[in-house]
Structure 1
Amino acid sequence: MKRTGVADLPLHGGRAPRWLFNRMVRLCRAISLVILEEYGRREFLRRLADPFWFQALGCVLGFDWHSSGLTTTVCGALKEALSPLASEAGIFICGGKGRASLRTPEEILTYAERFGLPESFKDFPEISRLSAKVDNTALQDGYTLYHHTFIFTVDGYWTVVQQGMNEVTSYARRYHWLGEKVKDMVEEPHSGIATVKTENEVLDLTATTSRSVREAICNLLKQSPDRLFKEIEKVKYELPRRHSLSERDLLPRGLDRVLISAYENPPANFKEVLKIRGLGPRNLRALTLVSELIYDLQASREDPARFAFAHGGKDGHPFPVDRRTYDESIAFLEEALSRARVGLNDKLSALKRLGSLFRN
């Protein structure tokens, strides 16, 4: 359970039928309560922050293993299963898909007020917003966020599960955050990234190698907008061959408003840069390009995702099946299911799926 990060899934239409979703909620509640009882809230969040365990949970619940809908459905089932037990379990699940994601900060504050949580919990709405801004703007991998779930505990631990869509490739990418592992919200905040597909064109300002560029952008925004636009005019005639650039890349819509806002309230650090109203991916990309050209720097353009699988492959690719890990995963889930407070039919169906996996 040490890896967190990203998973790529193909986009599938439709939704889980109500008869299946109702059962998913019941089974999800049972598995969650067993984990909370046996291992505690902190370990529960660690498991949700592991893309492999999260994927396995979706499979056990009966959802398509390779569908992008697994993310939204599992998060929805978790929310419906545990929200009525928030006071008992000490777990609070906020956000969701589409418009529900925009209500995440409001839901966090509502829980904090309802249960009289300490003043420190009021920072969580900002953490929620910033995690979304990082994966949508600071990490430009071609995926636009449309799902955001923020989960936190009464002990002050938190995790984020969010997903973006690439309309060109018809894939979705899932991002996992684990609060206790995050040392810096804008520098490699994912403690590990796993995926089945990497992108060729990525701008990763969260990489350690991009630190100097992040600092340069902060310095750049402290200058007057007029001076910056003069520098951009110079840059137009010095476009380097190492990037495919155009004037539209350097002068995206709304850049003037961003520059004026930053000049009036200079950002102290890159986190403050991401909070600037109106700063989107294209504006940040323009500022990155100008900073690189003026200060002779280079931001990371490597996709931070890495090829990885939970248990290996039967044909030895990308590596032979790790039988011990495989058996431990099955044993844990079988024990959880055997003790779960669900109907016999649900337990038998889930155990049959696990048994089939084990035999194969």
Structure 2
Amino acid sequence: ELGISSQKINKLIRASRLTCKVDTCELQDQHQLYFHTMLIDEKGNFTTINQKMNINKGTVRRFHWTLNPKQFVEEPYNTAVGSHQKVVLDLTSRKSRECRKTIVDIVRDEQPKKLQKTIVSLSREIGQTKIIDFLGIKIVKMPYELAIPKKISLEALKNAHEFAGKNFADLLEIRGVGPATIRGLAYVSKLIYGASTSFTDPIRYTYAFGTKANIPYRLEKRAMANVGEILKNAVEQAKIGNRQKIEAIKRLKDFLNF
């Protein structure tokens, strides 16, 4: 038993739900959330690890959240690794700050029925080729999962209109507000109001030599060994102390001990 107060437990429950909503709705990357865990110590400090999968492609993406995030909706990751995507909808980016604010404003100010018609009209009038031109993205085809939704829940928009708070996190917590709703609102914000929106993948690290499960491709042990030898030579030639060299080579050896 950790001895954490009930108030703190409620905050942790909210954080757990919100981190899942962020990784599902704010960062839309053709991968679905399938693994979620929180690490909590006796003082109530916590961090979150979420993992997403694209079943058709057999690829995964993992997101390690920062410790005790002060805010959840903007660049909350300590580390993000996995298969890099050419295009994603990334509302967690600071470049999407204007988009998030605009979404909150239009949900609060616009009538739900009118907003629903606006989103559906955009999906009809702007095809995949046109939307790529509008967004200036250098890809051949917009992924289906990132297209403007053809249908949008009026009930979700009504709930958002009635209960939306002052910020984007409040909107994410509203029941019924899911990826399609957020994506539709993001396109209204971008295409109609001109709000800055990021379509760049936040993933900076990927699996250079395959994975232990041999998915999406098998582990190339020989290539890993060759790169390890190059790094070892670089350390040996570096202008650092012998102790630092020994420690660096030991860490490299431990890392490559497959």
1:110-133 Cα shifts (integer Å, max 9, x gaps): xxxxx3536333200000000111
Map residues 145-294 of structure 1 onto 2, 5 A cutoff: 145-180=33-68, 182-195=69-82, 197-222=83-108, 223-232=110-119, 235=122, 236-237=124-125, 240=131, 241-242=133-134, 244=142, 249-254=148-153, 256-294=154-192
Q: 1:299 aligns with which of 177, 193, 197?
A: 197
Letter in 2 for 1:320: L
Say which SS state the counterpart of residue 300 (structure 1) adopts. coil
2:88 & 2:8 partners in 1: Cα distance? 35
Distance 1:313 1:242, change over 3 A: farther
1:215-260 Cα shifts (integer Å, max 9, x gaps): 01101101211332454466454664335499x7244242x11111
1:276-302 Cα shifts (integer Å, max 9, x gaps): 211221221111111111211231111
Checking the alignment, whether the CA contact within 8 Å between 1:159 and 1:177 is kept in structure 2 is yes
2:256 & 2:121 partners in 1: Cα distance? 64
1:215 & 1:190 partners in 2: Cα distance? 20
Letter in 2 for 1:209: K
Say which SS state the counterpart of residue 179 (structure 1) adopts. coil
Say which SS state the counterpart of residue 277 (structure 1) adopts. coil
Distance 1:224 1:160, change over 3 A: same
2:156 & 2:67 partners in 1: Cα distance? 30
1:164 & 1:242 partners in 2: Cα distance? 28
Letter in 2 for 1:162: N
Checking the alignment, whether the CA contact within 8 Å between 2:85 and 2:201 is kept in structure 1 is yes
1:193 & 1:245 partners in 2: Cα distance? 21
- Can you give the 5+ residue segments of structure 2 that lack an aligned partner in the other structure? 136-141, 209-222, 236-244
1:13-60 Cα shifts (integer Å, max 9, x gaps): xxxxxxxxxxxxxxxxxxxxxxxxxxxxxxxxxxxxxxxxxxxxxxxx
- Can you give the 5+ residue segments of structure 1 that lack an aligned partner in the other structure? 1-86, 91-114, 331-353
Q: Which range is displaced more, 266-275 or 115-124?
A: 115-124
Distance 1:203 1:154, change over 3 A: same
The percent identity for this pair of structures is: 29
Distance 1:320 1:156, change over 3 A: same
1:143 & 1:171 partners in 2: Cα distance? 8
Distance 1:183 1:325, change over 3 A: farther
Distance 1:199 1:155, change over 3 A: same
Aligned position for 1:120: 8
Structure with the largest fraction of helix: 1
1:356 & 1:188 partners in 2: Cα distance? 31
TM-score of the superposed pair, with normalisation by structure 1: 0.53
Map residues 32-181 of structure 1 onto 2, 5 A cutoff: 87=1, 90=2, 115=3, 117=5, 119-180=7-68
TM-score of the superposed pair, with normalisation by structure 2: 0.72
Letter in 1 for 2:163: N
Distance 1:216 1:355, change over 3 A: closer
Checking the alignment, whether the CA contact within 8 Å between 1:250 and 1:287 is kept in structure 2 is no
Checking the alignment, whether the CA contact within 8 Å between 2:61 and 2:81 is kept in structure 1 is no
Give the C-alpha shift of residue 148 in structure 1.
Answer: 1.0
1:122-170 Cα shifts (integer Å, max 9, x gaps): 2000000001111111111121111111121111210112211111210
2:249 & 2:8 partners in 1: Cα distance? 39
Give the C-alpha shift of residue 316 in structure 1.
Answer: 3.8
1:129 & 1:175 partners in 2: Cα distance? 15
Aligned position for 1:327: 250
Aligned position for 2:216: none
